Structure 1
Amino acid sequence: MYPDSDSDVVNSNTTLLDSPVIIYIFFCCSFFTAIDLQVGEQTFIQSPNYPSYYPRNADVGWLVKVPQAYQVILRFVDFKTEKKNDIVTVRDGWTSDFLRSTQRASLSGSSVQAAIISQGSYLWVNFTSDYWTRYRGFRARLSAELRTITLTTEGTEVLTSPNYPEVYENNIDTIWYVRAPAGYRVLLRFINFSTEESYDTVILCDGWTSNYSRSTWVASVFGQSIPENITSAGSHLWIQFTSNSMYVFTGFRALLYAVIPVINLQTNETQILTSPNFPSLYDNNIDIVWHVRAPSGYRIMVHFTEFNTEYDRDFVYVYDGKKSVYRSSDPRDTLSGRSLPRDITTVGAYLWIRFTSDNWYSYFYDFTGFKAMLTTVETPVIMLDTIETEYVSIPNVPGYYDNNIDIAFQVIATSGFRVHILFHRFETEENSDFVYIFEGWTSDFSRSTLRASLSGWSIPENITSIGSYLWIRFASNEGRRFKGFQALLNAKIPVIYLNHGNAEYLQSPNYPAQYGTNLNLMWHAIAPENHQVVVHFVDFSVETFRDFLYLYEGQTSVYEESTLRRPNISGTYSSHNITTLGPFLWIRFTSDDGLQGGYRYTGFNISLFSTPVPGQLRISQM
């Protein structure tokens, strides 16, 4: 409840809550009442005699000071003065030097503007009236607000020293509090830097929580050299700037970002990851994320060597994914308590570990957090040629597989061919232990697609990949064990059988959206005996002289024996149909490793149908 009785008025000029320290200062022919406003306090100021008419020729003022990490918030709750004659002037500054303060507003009339927030920790409010018309004046509330810069995951904030690019003032001592979204860190990057060597200093402290008293000194920088980038340990960073009474310079300009720091694992490398302060107690109210990346073709294994968090309150979340985007990652496990977790191996080359604590007990009990070893695990590669057959199975087959297995294989068919899987044994714990099949047009796992999740006792149907690449992953839990699976792998070209009178459509990957890079695909079209294959282009748009469609034909169903190669097709094509001499056609499409000039191409949409061989040109199928 705000004071509104005469007993709340101090010296007829100032109405206060919590009684801040008040002294009187004389500046530039005006008396200023100095108010030392502490955190959590609110203070009201008002014109003399408010809400009655203020006196003629009034000249009163207030100097409001808040702690160095705070700003003064001025909010008018009532305002009525003689327009253009009886004026409230608001100035602010970084020090108590009135001559170096900056005018923020000059107010009169009956409009009450939005809150005025000081740049520094000082605010001057001066009210003057002339001899003529009088009104009830004004009433305003003063409070202290933490000087906060709130970062988002997308944007960038700019921070400068006071008065930049002009010289800063002497005797400055101010603090900015920077906070990133939960789980993120603050990245500070200086663009310009010029302060008095050894004296005018930027002091950086960071913390796992918003409690400044528990923050940790990171660095003190000064001089003419641009400091290195600094990333906070937690989501909170405090930046303090102090200057002495001697020389002044232009100060600094810096950019602030919210980032998730990346741990880049190399092959055969192990890195240690621990909770904050480990092996000491971690703080309350922590929310932090680590991003771990392995080289292409590798996965990441997390092996916990110590684990001790408050059960069902403080958690370690493990996410993984095919892509380096946190929002598109998949939850793998949620860990809490004192039991040592099982090893976790990622699906792809990306891992996110998030640690959160609540506001209970970590200071009073022995919750030390966790320690984990991060290592790379190579994904085995099975290469298929056009005639070989390979077998794939999990360890111990035909015996029982182990619990907590997480293994993967990459299968690559000869360029232009597809991977064909034929399961002839399949036995896993239903809805618990799974075989996952991913497929893709290129060797980039991050662009692959989950084709199937298989579990139980039924032998799955055969699977043929859409491109030349397939990934097989098997993961088991801690439950019952079974005999797993065995599968036959071979390379094949997908066949399109054309019946007389029916058309089949063939499209480039992602059509009508942009097709991928580094493609090398093949299709085999077969017409009935004594028929020809007709190729009709419904749509065709590929990068000229870089991406190509090739047509081969022959008198047998063996690709290597095809003898007639039609002209390569590239660019935009809408010409006449192409008709083969016999019933066999191979279609091959290749794209290079990028697009020139930023253009987008939709690829192709082709209609295939058969037609009888005319007259004496019939060619018997061999």
Structure 2
Amino acid sequence: MILEQNLIDIRGINPQELKCGSVLSGNEGNFTSPGYPDLYPSNVTCEYIISTSNADRGIRLTFSDFSTELDNDYVEVRDGNSSTAPLLERITGEPDISTLSATSTSSNMYVALVTDSSVRGRGFSAAYASICPNLLTDDKGGFSSPNFPSPYNPDANLCWGISVQPGFAIELEVTSFVTSPEDVMTIYDGASEDSPIITSLSGEVIGDYYSTGNNMYITFISNPANELEGFVVYYKQVCGNRFVDPSGTVSSPGYPSPYPQNANECYFISVTAGKTVQITFTDFVTEPNYDVLRIYDGPTAESPLLASLSGGETGTVVTSTSSKVYMVFTSDADTGGAGFTAEYVEV
């Protein structure tokens, strides 16, 4: 009776008309086609309505097994709670399950298995989970609180995931932030809320925050009252190897072991404003002309080129004219070398 009542509430239909199906709740779960792993029945439309508890999150649907009669028996996945919601996927036959998934934009998803009267298959085994629907994958971008600069919504539970290229990191710039003290943004150093916390923000703040890897996860939770204008945030992909102490050591990947083929590694050094950076290479052996370290007099690869080092360059000293240096080491697919190590110091 609970299932029947849920179906009436969600879709406004008589549950007696359904051949099979179920209403699924909770923030994660699993379900299968009827009879799985044995053959599913003929001439049925089995409807699965997934409704998770967080209205601000989406649903990620994945499959661990899928086999139906090609074209005639299929699964539809829709972005909502009914058969008229926008279609996300139509799946049939025996697709590659390693790439088979669908993601809704809200906390509701509709899944239907439709079969005919002929050949049957074993059907499917699926899993769903509540996820952040806001995944940002460009090298740079931004986001803001809903309605900005008008007040954000009460009882919000929002999230944003940022993922840039492997080997790089993320710089998050909070340019405007006005919330009540009880409404908190939390920035995580990784891809989920299980990652280490970089910082938590509330009240009135601005600032720059950095990940140590190529993923960052941000949540914002508000209480039922005292909504203010909210926030504006920008991000960009930056070098993952960051050095901000007055002195330190910079080395090629894996040093003292030989560096890998097809390397593309960056290094960013930032010392005290008004100082310069002196870099001394205590060891430098690369394949001449092909495996190269380029050193730029500034914070990016668009800054003026200070030096381009390749081959045997042990003992070389390079000094910047500013407090920031950006370096890029690239290698080709052929013979490598021991690589390099260098000591830097502000002067």
TM-score for the superposition, normalised by structure 1: 0.32
Q: Secondary structure at the match of 2:182?
A: coil
Post-superposition CA distance 1:53-100 (Å, at most 9, x none)? xxxxxxxxxxx9423178xxxxxxxxxxxxxxxxxxxxxxx95389x8
Q: Cα offset for 1:357?
A: 2.6
Q: 1:285 Cα deviation (Å)?
A: 3.8
- Percent of residue pairs bearing the same amino acid type: 18
- Cα distance between partner residues in 1 of 2:49 and 2:170: 41
User: Aligned partners of 2:195 and 2:6: how far apart in 1?
Assistant: 43
Instruction: Tell me if the contact between 1:177 and 1:238 (Cα under 8 Å) persists in the aligned partners.
Output: yes
Please tell me whether residue 412 in structure 1 is matched to residue 285 in structure 2. no
CA distance in 1, matches of 2:253, 2:71: 63
Identify the residue that residue 231 of structure 1 maps to in structure 2: 103
After superposition, residues 63-212 of structure 1 pair within 5 angstroms as 65-68=4-7, 96=16, 147-151=24-28, 157-164=29-36, 165-167=39-41, 170=44, 174-178=48-52, 186-190=59-63, 191-192=65-66, 194=68, 202-205=76-79
Letter in 2 for 1:241: A
Residue 343 of structure 1 aligns to a residue in which SS? strand
Q: 1:344 is aligned with what amino acid?
A: Y
Matched, 1:330 2:197: yes
Asked whether the equivalents of residues 49 and 108 of structure 2 are also in contact (C-alpha less than 8 Å), the reply is no
- Going from structure 1 to structure 2, the CA distance change for 1:197 and 1:484 (only over 3 Å counts) comes to same
Partners of 2:110 and 2:268 in 1: CA distance: 48
Q: Secondary structure at the match of 2:6?
A: coil
| One-letter identity of the residue aligned with 2:60 | L
- 5 Å-filtered alignment, 1:524-535, equals none
Alpha-carbon displacement from aligned partner over 1:137-169 (angstroms, at most 9, x marks no partner): xxxxxxxxx632542xxxxx5422344541266
Q: Structure 1 residues 483 and 374 mapped into 2: Cα distance closer, same or farther (>3 Å)?
A: closer
| Whole-Å separation in 1 of the counterparts to 2:185 and 2:230 | 9
Structure 1 residues 275-332: Cα deviation after superposition (integer angstroms, max 9, x where no partner): 46778876544434333244466442223456565x2233222233xx6675342323
Structure 1 segment 82-481 matched on structure 2, within 5 A:
96=16, 147-151=24-28, 157-164=29-36, 165-167=39-41, 170=44, 174-178=48-52, 186-190=59-63, 191-192=65-66, 194=68, 202-205=76-79, 217-219=85-87, 221-222=89-90, 224=92, 229-233=101-105, 236-241=107-112, 252-257=124-129, 263-266=136-139, 270-275=140-145, 283-295=153-165, 298-304=168-174, 307=177, 309=179, 311-320=180-189, 327-336=194-203, 339=204, 341-347=206-212, 349-360=214-225, 369-378=230-239, 411-412=249-250
The unaligned stretches of length 5 or more in structure 2 are 261-266, 284-337, 339-347
Q: Using a 3 Å threshold, how does the CA distance of structure 1 residues 314 and 292 change in structure 2: closer, same or farther?
A: same
CA contact (8 A) 1:335 1:341 kept: no
Alpha-carbon distance in 1 for matches of 2:129, 2:258: 34
User: Are the aligned partners of 1:189 and 1:256 in contact in 2 as well (CA < 8 Å)?
Assistant: yes
Contact 1:68/1:173, CA 8 A, preserved across alignment:
no
Q: How far off its partner does 1:230 sit? A: 1.6
Write the distance in 1 (CA, Å) between the matches of 2:42 and 2:206: 54
User: CA distance change for structure 1 residues 160 and 278 in 2, over 3 Å: closer, same or farther?
Assistant: farther
How far has the Cα of 1:247 moved from its partner? 5.9
Say which SS state the counterpart of residue 16 (structure 2) adopts: coil
**Residue identity matched to 2:66:** N
Question: Taking structure 1 as reference, are residues 256 and 410 closer, same or farther at Cα in structure 2, changes over 3 Å only?
Answer: farther
8 Å Cα contact 2:182/2:202 also seen in 1: no
Structure 1 residue identity aligned to 2:222 = S
Whether contact under 8 Å (1:297, 1:379) holds in the other structure is: yes
Q: Distance in 2 between matches of 1:280 and 1:199?
A: 49
Distance 1:159 1:331 in 2: 36
Q: Is the 8 A contact 1:380 1:410 kept in 2?
A: no
Q: Could you list the per-position Cα deviations for residues 497-519 of structure 1 after superposition, in whole angstroms to 9, with x for gaps in the alignment?
A: xxxxxxxxxxxxxxxxxxxxxxx
Mapped contact 2:170–2:215 kept (Cα < 8 A): yes
Cα deviation 1:479-507 (Å, max 9, x = unaligned): xxx988788765679xxxxxxxxxxxxxx
- 1:174 & 1:473 partners in 2: Cα distance? 55
C-alpha distance after superposition, 1:356-381 (max 9, x if no partner): 2334476xxxx675443221234788
Distance verdict in 2 for CA 1:233–1:276, change over 3 Å? farther
* Distance in 2 of aligned mates of 1:330 and 1:168: 51
- Given that 1:272 and 1:372 are in contact with CA atoms closer than 8 Å, whether structure 2 keeps it comes out as yes
Matched residue type, 1:342 = G
Gaps of 5+ in 1: 1-36, 40-63, 71-93, 101-118, 122-145, 152-156, 207-211, 383-391, 395-408, 419-440, 445-469, 475-481, 494-591, 593-622
Cα distance in 1 for residues equivalent to 2:150 and 2:252: 55
1:369 to 1:381, Cα distance in 2 relative to 1, 3 A: closer
SS in 1 for 2:188: strand
Show the counterpart of 1:30.
none
Amino acid at match of 1:314: D
Tell me the TM-score normalized by structure 2: 0.50
Looking at structure 2, the residues matched to 217 and 355 of structure 1 have their Cα atoms a distance apart, in angstroms, of 28
* Larger RCO, structures 1/2 (Cα 8 Å, 6+ apart): 2
For 2:252 and 2:124, the matched residues in 1 are separated by 58
Q: Which has the larger radius of gyration?
A: 1
- Aligned pair in 2 of structure 1 residues 199, 372: CA closer, same or farther (>3 Å)? farther
